[in-house]
Amino acid sequence: ETGVTQTPRHLVMGMTNKKSLKCEQHLGHNAMYWYKQSAKKPLELMFVYSLEERVENNSVPSRFSPECPNSSHLFLHLHTLQPEDSALYLCASSQEFKVSPTGELFFGEGSRLTVL
């Protein structure tokens, strides 16, 4: 089983829909992240959870709502999105948040979101 698993891999939704992205990590890590990857733009950090507590929220619109019920699972709830929100949403985990020997992030393969 891969370290970080994301579902669904592809999602098409209308602007009025409500959907959720799911991420699960099997690495025993304490920190989980949501990143947004758009074409020609750098990876943008959206949210960080450390031991199920949100520690970073990078001015993300409220139409994106994260949830971390335990250290292995992370959700991104989507509501009334805009077409410009179409992107690849990457979940990642790391051993710890602030103190990490290598700073390594382990990424899932992403959820490709298209908003019509």
Binding site for other proteins (CB under 8 A): 4, 31, 33, 40-43, 45, 48, 56, 90, 94, 96-100, 102-105, 107-110
Pick between residue 16 and residue 42 the one whose CB is nearest to other proteins.
Answer: 42
Pick between residue 43 and residue 60 the one whose CB is nearest to other proteins.
Answer: 43
Contact assessment for residue 56 and residue 88, using Cβ atoms and an 8 Å cutoff: no
Exposed, middle or buried by CB within 10 Å (0-12, 13-18, 19+), for 60? middle
CB of 35 to other proteins, least distance (A): 8
Pick between residue 62 and residue 102 the one whose CB is nearest to other proteins.
Answer: 102
Helices (H) and strands (E) in the chain, counts: 0, 11
For residue 110, which of 34, 16, 40, 47 has the smallest C-alpha distance?
34
CB of 6 to other proteins, least distance (A): 9
